[in-house]
Amino acid sequence: MKFLFVGSLLVTGVSAIPTPAPAPVSYDDGQYERSLFHTWTTVNGTCDTREFVLKRDGTNVVTNSACTATSGTWFSPYDGATWTAASDLDIDHMVPLKNAWISGANTWSTAMRTQFANDIDNPQLWAVTDNVNESKGDQSPDEWKPPLASFHCTYAKSWVAVKYAYDLSITSAEKSALTSMLDTC
C-alpha cells in the first residue's frame, strides 16, 4: 500500500479519491471551454501566475519591471531538458483544466475554477518544456506519462494530491495508471 502526504494529511494512495459510477461523463460534452478557467491572475505587484511559477521553478531568474523573466535557467522535470529562455517553457496544469472539468469542476463557481487554474500552493503548476506540455494536452495518466520515467513517481503523487485537494474524481483507467506510477516510488 502506498502512502503520501497532502499537506499534513496522510493519504492512502489513490484509494482516497472517488471513482465515478460506471456511466462516464462525456469528455466532449460540448460545455467545457478553457475560458471558464481564468488563468494567469496577478499574484503580487506586476507578477502574474505564469511569471511567479517561472521565478519559483527557475534558477538565477532575472525579471524586468513588468515581471517578465529576461534570463535564468529552468529544468523541465517531464523530459529532463534544461532551458535558458523562458519562451521555451509552458506552465503546465498538472491536472489539465478539461480533465478537472469532467472530474467535478463543471459544478464549481468561477472563483473556484480561477483558484484551481492559478494554484501555487498545491503541486498543480509546473514550468516544463513547451512541446512536451503540448504533447500532454488535456490527457490523463492513462493516456500520457512524462517521457522521463524517473519523474513518474512525483508525477503520480502530484496528480493524486491535486485531485484530492479539489475533491475531483478519477476514472478506473486513471487509477490503474496512477497505481503503476506510484509503484515506482
CA distance 155 to 126: 11
The pLDDT of residue 89 is 97
Kindly write down the DSSP assignment for every residue of 98-121, as one continuous string.
HHHHHHTGGGS-HHHHHHHHT-SS
The pLDDT of residue 30 is 60
Mean pLDDT, each 10-residue run in order, the chain (185 residues): 39 58 48 91 94 97 95 98 97 97 94 97 97 96 97 96 95 94 93
The pLDDT of residue 21 is 44
The pLDDT of residue 75 is 98
Residues contacting residue 135 through CB under 8 Å, at least 6 positions apart: 144
